[in-house]
Amino acid sequence: MSEASFSIEHMFDNIDEPGLLELMRSAQRTERIAVAHRLLTSGRLCQLRMATVDEIDRTQWCIDNWEAVAAEVGAELGISRGRASSQMNYGVELLGRLPKLGAVFAAGEVDFRVIAVAVFRTGLITDADALTKIDSRLAGKAPRWNSYSRNRIAELVDWWVRDIDPAAVRVARSSDADRHIEIGPSRDGLTEFWGTLRAPDAAALDRRLDLLTGTVCRQDPRTKRQQRADAMAVLAAGGSAMTCGCESADCPARNNSAEPGQVVIHLLAEAATLSGASDTPGYLPGHGAIPADQVKELGKRALLRPLPHRDDLGAELRYRPSAALTDFIKARDLCCRFPGCDKPAEVCDIDHTIPYCQGGPTHPSNLALLCRAHHLIKTFLCGQNGWREVQFSNGTIVWTAPSGRFYTTTPGGALFFPELAKPTGPVTVPAHHIEREGHTLMMPTRQRTRAAERLARINWERGINEARMNADPPPF
């Protein structure tokens, strides 16, 4: 929105302090109502779509009817399939299982954080009468819980669940089940990682880092902490020794080298950055900008592969694109081109916008990255009443959803390196093309339907609770 049409500079000038507090409360209620409407409409769309399709043909599909709706919701809201699916689930649960709680939520009386706890903590209740009872209790009490902590809300909901249906109480998982490692971007070309390991594994990792830092001489200019950080890179590469940084000809560790492993990462950078003639940063997908000095240093020991110029690319005769064309498409797109999806290039397929079997050429203006799920959606849920796409020569794709709504996606790489978005020429499809045999993609199937899988998980968790109660029954 332009500065001329809206400005916050003087928007509160004529409002006194009590008025500001009242406006704050009103905005909070409006926010709650907006979130409720977003979730409930997602759930309602899911109910409508699930009721109007032939579920028998798709329930065993990996991309079933639920996934089909999640694709539309994700595209409309500009979010991932996972987040769309989560929102649909909250909406369906409130509409079908907890309608009274859903009503007070829609009236702006309850924060979403309360709703999230209530929906999860009541998820194992299967008896309709029990659900009705707890829904009524939640609707009456939840508006008073907005200031409570998440743990306290869970305690209150669990108390009622235990009273109505003891086998439906959610039992905390063991700490061991929560072990994890997370990696995320930080700043200035650095990345943070954190997590929880089993104690023996952590001790082994700690000892391994110490052993690696011991392979450099005492004149190494790095601190012990910096050495341990660099040792992680050697460990990831499968190396057994670190390269010393003292640069002395007499260094006893000067012949050390971190042997390359089988792990490959792709970093995009301009040739001028690698030569030191430019300070333009490089780009590491998933982690962001890498400072020019780091790029130059990496270039000394990395395999450099120049991207082909767009003028050197054209239609290829075979279905599978060449290595050069593959590199260009991955660098241009960076991630899945379906609306709202950001799956990285390394887990994406290269898809023909106009299918190869229908005369679509293997041409940069007719190729795009799609993650496997969206590739399946585009392939099997297409046609007049399904998903359709049109790609332009600069890589822009306009999608048409089954609802008839339009969504536009642009190449991710072009945001960092505009050269990648320059037109790569028109696509020519023969007027009387011969049906060609392309790569056949089969829809993967499920062992159990989504509904059966959900029921199995509920029964499994309830079974654990029932076994625990039978082994140690409460006193009466």
Instruction: List all residues 6 or more positions away from 35 whose beta carbon is below 8 Å from its beta carbon.
Output: 112
H-type alpha helices, 142-180: 150-164
Judge if 158 and 200 occupy the same domain: no
Residue 56's pLDDT band (cuts 50, 70, 90):
low
388 - beta bridge partners?
400
Domain boundary among 221, 255, 289: 255
Among 31-35, 414-418, 470-474, which range has the highest average pLDDT? 31-35
Domain boundary among 421, 441, 468: 421
Closest to 130 measured CA to CA, from 43, 463, 138:
138
**Total domain count, the chain:** 3
Is 448 part of a structural domain of the chain? no
Is 402 part of a structural domain of the chain? yes
Q: How far apart are CA 366 and CA 307, in angstroms?
A: 18
Judge if 375 and 414 occupy the same domain: yes
Find the mean pLDDT for residues 310-329: 91
Is 262 part of a structural domain of the chain? no
Helix, strand, or coil (residue 320): coil
Is 304 part of a structural domain of the chain? no
The two three-digit tokens of residue 198, written as one number = 């089993």
Instruction: List all residues 6 or more positions away from 83 whose beta carbon is below 8 Å from its beta carbon.
Output: 74, 77
Q: Let me know if 104 is exposed, middle or buried by CB neighbors in 10 A (0-12, 13-18, 19+).
A: buried
Judge if 237 and 125 occupy the same domain: no
Judge if 166 and 208 occupy the same domain: no
Contact 399, 75 (CB under 8 A): yes
Which helix or strand (DSSP H or E) is residue 427 part of?
none
Is 78 part of a structural domain of the chain? yes
Is 73 part of a structural domain of the chain? yes
Whether pLDDT at 383 is above 90? no
Q: How far apart are CA 88 and CA 292, in angstroms?
A: 43
Domain that holds residue 353: 310-421
Judge if 250 and 354 occupy the same domain: no
Q: How far apart are CA 335 and CA 285, in angstroms?
A: 9
Q: Let me know if 6 is exposed, middle or buried by CB neighbors in 10 A (0-12, 13-18, 19+).
A: exposed
- Please report the pLDDT score of residue 337 as a whole number: 96
Judge if 146 and 64 occupy the same domain: yes
- Please report the pLDDT score of residue 5 as a whole number: 55
Whether pLDDT at 186 is above 90? no
408 - beta bridge partners?
398
Q: What predicted TM-score, i.e. pTM, was given to this entire model?
A: 0.80
Is 32 part of a structural domain of the chain? yes
Judge if 315 and 400 occupy the same domain: yes
Nearest-5° angle of CA 349, CA 339, CA 410?
A: 80
Whether pLDDT at 322 is above 90? yes
Judge if 417 and 346 occupy the same domain: yes
- Please report the pLDDT score of residue 437 as a whole number: 57
DSSP type of residue 386: S
Judge if 42 and 98 occupy the same domain: yes
Q: What are phi and psi of 6, to 5 degrees?
A: -155, 135
Closest to 388 measured CA to CA, from 85, 153, 75, 110:
75
Residue 3's pLDDT band (cuts 50, 70, 90):
very low
Residue 97's pLDDT band (cuts 50, 70, 90):
very high
Which tops the pLDDT comparison, 468 or 74? Answer: 74
Which residue shows structure tokens 């819980």?
Answer: 145
Which helix or strand (DSSP H or E) is residue 4 part of?
none
Q: Let me know if 87 is exposed, middle or buried by CB neighbors in 10 A (0-12, 13-18, 19+).
A: buried
Is 215 part of a structural domain of the chain? yes
Judge if 43 and 168 occupy the same domain: yes
